[in-house]
Chain A
């Protein structure tokens, strides 16, 4: 997709989202839509590191929760507006991402993944023991009653998350097209060879982990106002780790559209399943779908479609002769 058409689609998505808030009144759709969009951000952020570079991050909850808790601290201490919460959450999670990037100097492959899991648990323990943000009991926050231009604050949060989703996808789209994306792919295929060819692997990995961290922090920052109750177990939930990794794997982890497809499909399916079946059962489905895709279709939906397109292309060529 060219830059102009990508921009046009992005603009159309935002305009459509704004238009919806003028028409649709049922609050449930905004609550559900927010979660799906949040997964678009998280899955895209995960994919910038995991899909392009091949460093599997199990620590999504750590970055997400750090963004959320940064917002909590700002609300508690300064009553800061959402814009400041977003910026601060992005910076703090970005710094954690930068630190994680330096960790890749020593830890590769599996060890890196285990370290990210460890990171999430250590951070969770710290927040459990930090009384200022509510400790293990959690903290209740008061959501502003309304936002300017929007009748309702939840609608406003929905539009904010929509904007973040567009920002995240645009970032991934841009990285994929620039020399950074090519460098990251080189790292995924063979890090030693890339280094030997003069690819600045460390700098590229730092870019990937930091951008990924920033986007995850952005996804987490509006969360306190969305749920109005923040406690360690729910923000550090392993579901974020599983989903943010399952969605790109299911959608296709080598292109920017893959995580979007995965997040929209899986996110929506989970929202429907939570209402109609039960939340535990829908998690079971996510696990089963993830395992099925890893075994049967490792390139995800995008890869499947490409394979089918190639096959039908060959068939038309053959019948043409």
Chain B
């Protein structure tokens, strides 16, 4: 029954990984799905979050998740600022789509190389008491380094879902995606609402980065494999649907975990990009498309 054990373990790891992928992809679901801002630099902000968690852990012994929570306001401010630059340079002129894309590509490059210059190409990791622990449920081993990110990721997804559906600003963000002119008639400023949404999107990267470095060691160029993953999840999840993002993240997580287990880890990355290509070619509106 080795084969069955492998399968069960791969499934469990995939689902746990999926919870974490949801955390990484939420920012894209917000920025790309709801605001139409193609922030391909999002994964690199996740890396930035990882290195912040690493720095605080190595120097002060801070818990990575605590660091992630502490730095969400900083990342939020960074996001608001970035949106301002984007708005003034592109969106206001109505030339956003392709030049905006190139802009974020440049930002990706700048942040990545800056991380490279600051930390080098060596893999970095964090230390916390619970990271190495595992427990068994029957034949399935559950590692804490996967369980904690999954729980935090699902919690973050839930919080964002409640925010978007229950609060005034949350509803305004959903409204701005549909009709920013009508929103203006209702007395809300689309520029401010979009700024808040983009700030939130980048803020999730602080926490997602902390989770990422908990799962395994990181190096600056790692953001690239996450570009495909987050867009695969966002497109598959139906562009801006928060619940859909979680489901799609788990699908991608399980698919990758199964491929890694049965075909070898070097094929894992190709899965998410394959899913993305397939989703784009067959059903661009995603599983839960509007």
Contacts and interface: CB of A to CB of B under 8 A. Distances in A.
Given A121-B228, A129-B266, A291 B277 contact: no
Given A58-B105, A103-B281, A114-B280, A284 B270 contact: no
A291 B106 contact: yes
Contact of A294 (B106, B228, B266): B106
A284 B280 CA distance: 32
B1 interface: no
Contact of B98 (A109, A136, A290): A109
A121 B269 contact: yes
B207 interface: no
A280 interface: yes
Interface in B83-122: 85, 89, 95, 97-99, 101-103, 105-107, 109-110, 113-114, 116-117
Residues of B in contact with A, size category = 35 or more
B234 to A, nearest CB: 10
Contact of A113 (B101, B107, B284): B101
A281 B117 contact: yes
Interface of A is mostly: helix
Contacts of A118: 228, 231-232, 273-274, 276-277, 280
Nearest to A50: B98
B97 A249 contact: no
A284 B117 contact: yes
B38 A110 contact: yes
B102 A290 contact: yes
B284 A111 contact: yes
A286 B270 contact: no
B171 to A, nearest CB: 26
Contact of B281 (A56, A106, A125): A106
Given A115-B280, A245-B102, A298-B95, A287 B109 contact: yes
Contacts of A111: 235, 280, 284
A119 B109 CA distance: 19
Contacts of B208: none
Contacts of B110: 284, 287-288, 291
Interface string B258-281: 000000101101100110110011
Interface string B203-244: 000000000000000000100110110011001000000000
A126 interface: yes
A117 interface: yes
A283 interface: yes
A283 B113 contact: yes
Contacts of B284: 106-107, 111
B40 interface: yes
A217 B55 CA distance: 43
Interface string A281-314: 1011011101100110010000000000000000
Contacts of A245: 102, 105
A284 B107 CA distance: 10
Contacts of A110: 38, 97-98, 101
A87 interface: no
Nearest to B278: A118
A54 interface: yes
Nearest to A128: B266
Contacts of A106: 280-281, 284
A122 interface: yes
Given A125-B266, A126-B270, A290-B102, A109 B113 contact: no
Given A110-B38, A128-B266, A295 B102 contact: no
A160 interface: no
A294 B103 contact: yes
Contacts of A281: 113, 117
Contacts of A58: 105
A257 interface: no
Contacts of B103: 291, 294-295
Nearest to B36: A110
Interface in A100-154: 103, 106-107, 109-111, 113-115, 117-119, 121-122, 125-126, 128-129, 136
Contacts of B227: 114, 117
A56 B102 contact: yes
Interface in B236-255: none
Nearest to A291: B106
Nearest to A135: B266
B103 to A, nearest CB: 5
A58 B105 CA distance: 9
Contacts of A170: none
A121 B270 contact: yes
Contacts of B280: 106-107, 111, 114-115, 118
Nearest to B276: A118
Contacts of B276: 114-115, 118
Interface of A: 54, 56, 58, 103, 106-107, 109-111, 113-115, 117-119, 121-122, 125-126, 128-129, 136, 238, 242, 245-246, 249, 280-281, 283-284, 286-288, 290-291, 294-295, 298
7 contacts: A118-B232, A238-B109, A242-B106, A284-B110, A291-B110, A294-B89, A298-B99
Given A129-B266, A245-B105, A283-B113, 11 more contacts: A106-B281, A111-B235, A114-B38, A114-B276, A125-B266, A238-B109, A242-B105, A242-B106, A280-B117, A287-B107, A287-B109
5 smallest beta-carbon distances between A and B, as pairs = A287-B109, A125-B270, A291-B106, A287-B110, A118-B273
